[in-house]
Amino acid sequence: MIKTGERIPNFTLASTVGSDMSIAELKGKKAIVYFYPKDNTPG
């Protein structure tokens, strides 16, 4: 589990504009990364 203030490992995800985005691209910038469990599901 990653705790508040800890560095996160590098990973790449699909963005909302259809391209991939790597966390490494945000290096040196402030960012909020938010995950929620039921995206694109009927639930």
Check pLDDT > 70 for residue 43.
no
Indicate whether this model's pTM tops 0.85. no
Answer whether 23's CB lies under 8 Å from 12's CB. Answer: yes
Q: Using only C-alpha atoms, what is the Rg of the chain?
A: 12
Compute how many other C-beta atoms are within 10 angstroms of the C-beta atom of residue 23: 15
Mean of pLDDT values over 14-26: 87
